[in-house]
């Protein structure tokens, strides 16, 4: 039963996300794809996944322990803080911190997590900003 509820909540979230994406006003300077495409793709994937979860629930779902639920909540808080600090700290710094924390909580040693966070952040910056020319949030250091 809990999987069906989770699937229906996910479907409602996908519908809301698609609606919000359709509210984005396009600039006359936007590219062929436009700013709505990526959010609509994410909403579509979420919607399809949620329908699958609702129609094919696990027969005996196993809920995580309280400690795991707290870790999941902490990861959600980190992602919310990431979104809030992205315009202030910039893409590279905010992404490095978020990625380092999340990889640490997934079981990597602290130093490895820091290295993974920095390399992930710089790698994404190189691909999306330098190679593809996409605009990413600039931080106090100018990148």
SS3 track for the chain:
CHHHHHHHHHHHHHHHHHHHHHCCCCCCCCCCCCCCHHHHHHHHHHHHHHHHHHHCCCCCCCCCCHHHHHHHHHHHHHHHHHHHHHHHHCHHHHHHHHHHHHHHHCCCCHHHHHHHHHHHHHHHHHHHHHHCCCCCCCCCCCC
75 and 135 assigned to the same domain: yes
| Residue 76: domain span | 64-142
53 and 3 assigned to the same domain: yes
pTM (predicted TM-score): 0.67
56 and 82 assigned to the same domain: no
**pLDDT per residue as tens digits for the range 67-114:** 999 999 999 999 999 999 999 999 999 999 999 999 999 999 999 999
What's the number of domains the chain is made of?
A: 2
54 and 2 assigned to the same domain: yes
């Amino acid at each position: 039963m809990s999987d069906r509820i989770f699937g229906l909540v996910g479907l409602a979230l996908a519908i809301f996300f698609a609606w919000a994406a359709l509210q984005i006003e396009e600039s006359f300077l936007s590219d062929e794809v436009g700013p709505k495409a990526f959010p609509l793709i994410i909403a579509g994937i979420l919607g399809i996944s949620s329908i699958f979860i609702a129609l094919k629930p696990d027969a005996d779902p196993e809920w995580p322990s309280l400690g795991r639920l707290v870790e999941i909540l902490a990861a959600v808080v980190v992602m919310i803080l990431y979104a809030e600090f992205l315009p202030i700290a910039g893409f590279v710094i905010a992404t490095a911190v978020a990625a380092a924390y999340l990889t640490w909580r997934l079981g990597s040693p602290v130093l490895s997590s820091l290295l993974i966070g920095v390399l992930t952040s710089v790698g994404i910056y190189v691909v999306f900003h330098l190679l593809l020319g996409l605009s990413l949030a600039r931080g106090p250091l100018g990148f």
